[in-house]
Structure 1
Amino acid sequence: MARSGPKRGDSRGETRGAILDATVGSLAELGFSGTSARAVAQRAGVAPGGVFYHFGSMDDLLTEVFATCLDRRIARLRAAVDVPRSGLPTAFAQAVRDEFAHPESRALLELVVGAIDSPLLAARVREGTDQAFAFTREVVELLLADSPMAGLLPLDLVAQVAASAFFGLGVMALVGADVDVDGMTDLVGVLLMFLGGDWPVPTGGQDPPD
């Protein structure tokens, strides 16, 4: 009779997942400098050597955390803008607000800063930057689909500027600067109208009155 219960492979996957989640939590709460193998292991509830057993090194772990968090962020944003076209600006604005508040966004910023001293992580961050630019271009194309400017603007450059602005505001928030997320999203609405998209202007996360 076959034994019931989780298989060994499943347990290993669960442990890896717990370590990944613990690393995200540590990065979000303690920052890059406070995210040691010991801190992660304690948070994940595994032996101190468990991090190295499952991931080989802290650099390998942090690289996988970066890739996981970035993939999840893009999936969240893609789902957020999967709405009727008339609802795109409001959905986009809310998605930006949600991302600023998400612990994985803080983890991503900490990893980008920490990549300065890690060639392996830096290489993955560069790949992630290209991935983020490509996704942002998809969103820009959706937002400007009916604009007469869509065929005139360098959309690759627009996407890079937009993604860089989002990252820059995140860094400002990371160091404690005041960041006006609502104002930024309102500005996006104004720019879309200026560029010829027939969009309502978002107002602090609320739909404008009729």
Structure 2
Amino acid sequence: MSRRWAVGAAVLALLAAPTPLAWAADPVTAGGSADLRLAWRKPSGPVAPGESVETPVVVTNHGPATATQLELTMTVLGDHWPGGPYEDVAHRCWTDPGVVMCLLSDLAPGQSVTLPVGWRFPREAAGTTYEAPASFSGAPDDPDTSNNADSVHFVIAAPPPAPHRPARDATAGAAVTAGATAGALVVAGGAVLLWRRSRRAR
């Protein structure tokens, strides 16, 4: 009996001791924050209508916590929709009127993800500009949200001007044509006269 009592007392003492549980959450991950940054890779200059332009969007986690539940939103203005294959990199993407949204996988501290985004503007867009904003939200809360959004700006080149061709003066052209015809008649007439004269001399 004394042996059973001693074991029971030891178990009760162990349970009452203020020892942290082994499965307690990591205080950095649970209570920390993830400093995230979003940036477009901008085009180097004006783009031509019909030209394929790649402008990946990069999301980076500067830590110290792991970033989870990341949702990226690209605002689409007008009729110019971006092309992929960003769907292959994101966890899942869908579209709503005027926006493209993608769920991203969790990002550990120091990790980044690059979504390939491509554009091709129609001929009707020549001579105009276009801007595509992007932003994201995620948990845990970002302590600095000033770099959580970025925009890519396009200048769609205007078509080259048509080569200048001076207008032809119809009056001058008619005069030149008439003069050339008259000269030909004179030459032809002189030749006939000479031929006739040489024939009479015989």
**TM-score of the pair, normalised by structure 1:** 0.22
Question: Which structure is higher in strand share?
Answer: 2
Larger Rg: 2
